[in-house]
């Protein structure tokens, strides 16, 4: 949970506050848990939302990088990607694109779920993800071997 | 659209995990008032009913369990009550109580009068039915089935015996006094005993006045007061003995 919050916010303190806010919400609204998902998934959604609220408070960059989805081929190289380098690259992404990338690729949410959580359209979610991957490929290119 | 995607996925799986700073959970717990937070959810917890066949299953298991079979004879919890009843009956048989004349101010207790008993298809002849030991009614023969009624007088001694069963302590007092215990001759003891009898009489009258449903709050309150007073007097009697 904390790791997810940290990846979305990109800040240790903001991640801690997001986790704290999230668990306050969990305890206050545990009665409204409708068991449509597991308790863990429900809590994780609340943590993600709390982390996203922290990002929104600082700066909403979702529209600052309105790159349209394209059919450009992305190639992640023939050699393994170093996890720590990927982590650093993720942290260098714009906040909106980082949130979408973390939710889609790391946490496994569908674009529909991401669109609901971020209050954006599914198209925006897809374009933000594409932009994030394109940027990551650029950031990781020095180590990539084609 | 992506080549070598497995490399990205492999790296994502190897991403590091982070631990929250120390004290974060304490901070969360500190902010939460668990009693207040859990009060509403606890009230809204769902209530589940067991499956319909569980009672049949339970009954079958009880029947199969010999240790759960019902005891033969009298249950131990009631043995004392049966003993008291027998003792009271013995006292009544060997020491019949002559009921004192009721004071003029005390009405006849309704409990002493049984419900009317219907007499149908009696022989068609003139006869006399004694009612309540005082009234006599002539019954004329008729060709139609007749309905008559009579009242039966319940023996006061039987009422006393039943009442004693409700007051085992008082029964003990009386039994011991019959053995000529010196304390029973003391004026204070006699006064307390008379007071207890008066309270018992008042209790009986009030209970009769209340009827079966006891729906008069004032009378119920008085009944409780009398019961408390009786208990206190009885305790004093027992203490003196």
Q: What is the pLDDT of residues A43-96, one digit of tens each?
A: 888 898 888 888 765 445 555 454 555 556 788 888 888 889 999 999 898 888
| Residue found under tokens 């009614």 | B137
Least confident of A118-127, B151-160, B167-176: B151-160
CA distance A137 to chain B (A): 10
Q: How confident is the model over B57-105, as pLDDT tens digits?
A: 777 887 777 766 665 555 555 667 777 787 787 777 777 655 555 444 4
Token duo for residue A13: 């303190």
Of residues A2, A146, A10, A8, the one with CA closest to residue A78: A146
**Distance, CA of A122 to CA of B92 (rounded, Å):** 95
Q: How confident is the model over B217-226, as pLDDT tens digits?
A: 777 888 888 8
**Distance, CA of B97 to CA of B92 (rounded, Å):** 7
CB contact under 8 A, B18 and A87: no
Q: Is the CA virtual torsion A104, A108, A111, A113 positive or negative? A: negative
CA distance B69 to chain A (A): 44
Q: How confident is the model over A9-30, as pLDDT tens digits?
A: 888 888 888 888 888 888 777 7
Backbone φ and ψ of B149, nearest 5°: -145, 160
Cβ contact A41:A47 at 8 Å: no
Q: Residue B107's pLDDT is what?
A: 46
| Residues on chain A bordering chain B, Cβ-to-Cβ distance under 8 angstroms | 2-3, 6, 12, 15-16, 19-20, 23-24, 27-28, 30-31, 71-84, 86-87, 105-106, 133
Average pLDDT, integer, range B133-149: 53
Characterise B100 by phi-psi region: left (phi > 0), alpha (psi -120 to 50), beta (else). Answer: beta
Cβ contact B157:B97 at 8 Å: yes
Of residues A76, A62, A73, A42, the one with CA closest to residue A118: A62
Centre a 10 Å sphere on the Cβ of residue A77 and count the other Cβ atoms it contains: 17
**Distance, CA of A24 to CA of B37 (rounded, Å):** 10
**Distance, CA of B226 to CA of B208 (rounded, Å):** 14
CB neighbour class for A38 (10 Å; exposed up to 12, middle 13-18, buried from 19): exposed
Backbone φ and ψ of A74, nearest 5°: -105, 130
**Distance, CA of B172 to CA of B81 (rounded, Å):** 14
Average pLDDT, integer, range B195-199: 86
What ipTM is given for this predicted complex? 0.78
Q: Residue B100's pLDDT is what?
A: 54
Of residues A2, A7, A48, the one with CA closest to residue A25: A48
- Cβ neighbours of A74 in B, within 8 Å: 1-3
Cβ contact A6:B18 at 8 Å: yes
Angle of helix B156-166 versus helix B187-210 axis, rounded to 10:
100
CA angle, B143 then B144 then B150, to 5°? 110
Task: State which H helix or E strand residue B127 sits in.
Answer: strand B127-131
Q: Residue B186's pLDDT is what?
A: 85
Token duo for residue B113: 């009068």
Q: Which residue of A has its CA nearest to B41?
A: A31
Centre a 10 Å sphere on the Cβ of residue B223 and count the other Cβ atoms it contains: 18
Q: How far is CA B103 from the centre of its chain?
A: 31
Residue A104 pLDDT grade (very low, low, confident, very high; cuts 50, 70, 90): very high
Cβ contact A72:A138 at 8 Å: no
Q: Is the CA virtual torsion B223, B227, B228, B233 positive or negative? A: positive
The residue of A5, A20, A88 whose CB has the most chain B CBs within 10 angstroms, and thus the best one to mutate to test that interface, is A20
pLDDT value at B50 more than 60:
yes
Average pLDDT, integer, range A118-131: 88
Q: Enter the DSSP assignment of B132.
A: T
């Amino acid at each position: 949970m904390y790791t997810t919050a940290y990846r979305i916010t990109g800040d240790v303190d903001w991640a801690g506050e997001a986790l704290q806010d999230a668990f306050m919400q969990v305890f206050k609204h545990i009665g409204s848990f409708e068991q449509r998902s597991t308790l863990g998934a429900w809590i994780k959604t609340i943590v993600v939302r709390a982390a996203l609220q922290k990002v929104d408070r600082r700066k909403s960059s979702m529209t600052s990088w309105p790159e349209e989805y394209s059919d450009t081929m992305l190639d992640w190289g023939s050699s393994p990607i170093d996890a720590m380098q990927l982590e650093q690259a993720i942290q260098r992404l714009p906040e909106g694109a980082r949130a979408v990338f973390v939710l889609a690729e790391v946490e496994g949410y569908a674009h529909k779920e991401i669109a609901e959580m971020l209050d954006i359209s599914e198209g925006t979610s897809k374009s933000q993800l594409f932009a994030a991957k394109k940027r990551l490929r650029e950031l990781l290119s020095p180590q990539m071997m084609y | 659209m992506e080549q070598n995607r497995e490399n990205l996925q492999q790296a994502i799986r190897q991403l590091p995990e982070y631990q929250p700073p120390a004290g974060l959970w304490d901070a969360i717990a500190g902010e939460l008032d668990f009693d207040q937070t859990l009060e509403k959810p606890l009230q809204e917890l769902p209530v589940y009913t067991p499956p319909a066949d569980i009672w049949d299953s339970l009954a079958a298991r009880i029947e199969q369990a010999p240790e759960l079979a019902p005891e033969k004879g009298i249950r131990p919890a009631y043995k004392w009550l049966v003993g008291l009843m027998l003792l009271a009956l013995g006292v009544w048989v060997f020491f019949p109580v002559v009921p004192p004349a009721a004071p003029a101010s005390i009405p006849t207790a309704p409990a002493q009068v049984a419900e009317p008993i219907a007499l149908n298809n009696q022989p068609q002849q003139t006869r006399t039915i004694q009612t309540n030991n005082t009234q006599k009614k002539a019954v004329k023969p008729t060709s139609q089935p007749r309905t008559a009624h009579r009242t039966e007088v319940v023996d006061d001694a039987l009422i006393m015996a039943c009442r004693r069963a409700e007051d085992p302590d008082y029964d003990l007092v009386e039994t011991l006094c019959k053995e000529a215990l010196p304390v029973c001759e003391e004026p204070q003891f006699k006064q307390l005993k008379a007071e207890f009898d008066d309270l018992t009489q008042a209790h009986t009258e009030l209970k009769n006045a209340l009827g079966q449903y006891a729906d008069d709050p004032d009378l119920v309150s008085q009944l409780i007061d009398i019961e408390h007073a009786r208990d206190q007097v009885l305790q004093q009697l027992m203490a003196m003995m």
